[in-house]
Structure 1
Amino acid sequence: MTAPVPLTELQQRMRRFRDRMDTREPDWECVVIFSNISLYYFTGTRQDGMLLIPRSGEPIFRVRRSYERACHESAFPRIAPMRSFRDAAGDLPVMPATVHMETEVVPLALLERFRRHFPVKTIYAADTHLAAVRAVKSPYELSLMEEAGRIHQRVLEERVPELLRTGMSEAEFASLLYPVLIEEGHHGIVRFGMFDTEIVMGQIGFGESSLYPTAFNGPGGCLGLCPAVPLLGSRKRTLKDGDLVFVDIGCGVEGYHTDKTMTYVFGKGLPAEAILAHRQCVEIQDRMAAMLRPGAIPSEMYRTITDSLSPAFLENFMGFGDRRVNFLGHGVGLLIDELPVIARGFDEPVTEGMAFALEPKKGIPGVGMVGIENTFIVTPAGGRCITGTHPGLLPVPVR
């Protein structure tokens, strides 16, 4: 087993969350946490249970399964077993009238079972407060992300070219890439907060299949295995001389992710239009990275960049056809898609220690999705890249 999340780290997270609730929700009484991600963030273990955070008194983590594992993995001070919510009802000296919880992820049936024994009158959302606290990473968290970034760089910039060969399918390439990631230290899964999202590694496409429409909220595309599983890649689309290879995947270490996209040119070169568009995307990434200083406003970053682009370039920018996304980057950490987002409506300034994936991309008809993505840490000197500096369109000889 790896070392548990230090108690001091858990205490610091809880303190920061309580401070935010006191500031933003001065009348809060109790917060109840159910989601695996938030449970892991506050307790250091992903067990089936419920974390009660009363305004007065110490938080308690009630665990259905596995209590034994929770005690083994977690340094959290108060962990107790729970068969049903009835066991936990006495943990609060006075039943609160209101409770904050993750309204984006708690199912109605779970809420109804909870209210049988916790008959609170009003439920308020804690989602944005939890996301805001998680957005600022500690040195401990950043160290894990930096390791994920090193793995990401090594795999995408050094090892992927060794895997590509004429005639292989997208699915075959994906099946070779996954064990390489695991071998290098990837924790084996890519987690998203977007509702009902399934993903294995990310989006992989040869040529025009990287433009194929998907339900996923990102600029790239992916054919996938079948309509029921639009993931990994097609068994039918095979790699041929002159293809653009698009690889947009996550990588993680002990729960913490980085996000990175690399493009490759297999064999003969791409059209000049595609190369020029790609280079402009790299320039946009570098401009945004220079803006990532404490105090920067994500919505202003978005407006500054988009207002500087010509109408011709904006066509098929951040997507293809009418399938464009309205952001240029996003927070990343325990989830790939964390807050804040570099988009309209995100008007609070960023702070040192936040992490962003910057991903300017542009679809090129008949070629595929060009562009780039890397993960950056906010510093006073601008965004510090932790996933490598290769500009993409990495040439790979035909074999």
Structure 2
Amino acid sequence: MDSASDTSVCHGFVLADTEYEHEATGHVFSKEGMSEVDLSTELYSVMVEEGRHGLCRFGMFDIEMVMGNVCFGEISRYPSYFNGPGGMYGMSPAVPLIGRRDKKLKKGDLVFIDIGCGVEGYNTDKTTTYMFGSSLPQYAIDAHNKCVEIQNEAASMLKTGAIPSKIYNNIMNNLDSEFLQNFMGFGKRKVRFLGHGVGLLIDELPVTAEGFDEPLQEGMVFLSNLKKE
């Protein structure tokens, strides 16, 4: 994103003062005053129309998920039952999914979209964040650039025969204590992995974490989950 302007381009979308529009289709996804539920249902509808198979498929037990985390402002820090670095309040404590009906988007909010998408049985997992109608602060840009640096370093280690736990420890042991604050989760609610496999399930093995000592094999597909508050 361009930190010097209120209008930015990110992943094929244009962010203006009061709306977030897809460049190719012209579809406006986020508008001032819409709720988290509004944005979730808009995204879901467009994704299914474009070929998504309509659900998030996990291997872990006790996981219910329609799309993932879609939230505004500080809600992305909210405690969650899900083993991920982001948070979500959802419909209610009984149904922590989709979003809050009463959380309305306003200028200056962080929009946090961490969702899965699948086509014909194969899944992806991607996070997009942006500031609605305002510029990103410099510290956020610096944190993003550091995460990209870490991601590239980890990716360079993903070779046939490499050990996931060693990759995890090599990365984590070289990060300074200041950066580790609110890295991979907020406060004490942190996850202890940097990425995982993805394919027929969103949460496939292996995981870039301690305890995963089987060597990598050719053809494995990984995603990076790096997040920093």
Shared fold per TM-score greater than 0.5:
yes
Query: Quick check: 1:242–1:270 contact (8 Å CA) kept in 2?
Result: no
C-alpha displacement at 1:249, in angstroms?
0.7
Larger Rg: 1
Fraction of identical pairs, as percent:
60
Figure out how many residues of one structure are paired with residues of the other and give that number.
Answer: 208
Could you give the per-residue CA deviations for residues 137-182 of structure 1, whole angstroms, max 9, x where no partner exists?
xxxxxxxxxxxxxxxxxxx933664311111111110010001111
- CA-CA distance at 1:286 after TM superposition: 1.7
Supply the distance in 2 between the matched residues of 1:211 and 1:192 (Cα, whole angstroms).
22
Residue 181, structure 1, aligned to residue 17, structure 2: no
Equivalent residue, structure 2, for 1:349: 215
Equivalences for 1:21-170 in 2 at 5 Å?
157-158=11-12, 161=21, 162-170=28-36
Residue 306 of structure 1, aligned match among 157, 165, 172: 172
- Please tell me whether residue 206 in structure 1 is matched to residue 60 in structure 2: no
Work out the CA distance in 2 between the residues paired with 1:347 and 1:275: 34
Distance 2:110 2:53 in 1: 28
The TM-score with structure 1 as length reference comes to 0.51
Amino acid at match of 2:215: P
Q: Which residue of 2 aligns with 1:334?
A: 200
- Map of 2:183 onto structure 1: 317
Runs of 4+ in 1 over 6 A off after TM superposition: none
Structure 1: distance between partners of 2:156 and 2:129: 23
Unpaired segments of 5 or more residues in structure 1?
1-155, 364-399
Matching residue within 177, 183, 193 for 2:59: 193
Which residue of structure 1 aligns with residue 163 of structure 2?
297
Q: Structure 2 length as normaliser, TM-score?
A: 0.87
- Give the superposition deviation at 1:252: 0.7
Q: Which runs of 5+ in 2 are unaligned?
A: 1-9, 14-19, 22-27
* Match among 243, 257, 273 for residue 139 of structure 2: 273
* Residue 231 in structure 1 maps to residue 118 in structure 2: no
Question: Aligned-pair distance for 1:226?
Answer: 0.9
Shift of 1:308: 1.2
**CA RMSD in angstroms, aligned pairs only:** 1.4
Q: Distance in 1 between matches of 2:122 and 2:220?
A: 13
Residue equivalent to 1:360? 226
Match of 1:361, SS?
coil
Higher helix fraction (1 or 2)? 1
Secondary structure of the residue aligned to 1:163 is strand
Q: Which amino acid aligns with 1:316?
A: N
For residue 188 of structure 1, what is the amino acid of its counterpart?
A: G
Q: CA deviation at 1:271?
A: 2.5
C-alpha distance in structure 1 between counterparts of 2:73 and 2:226, whole Å: 18
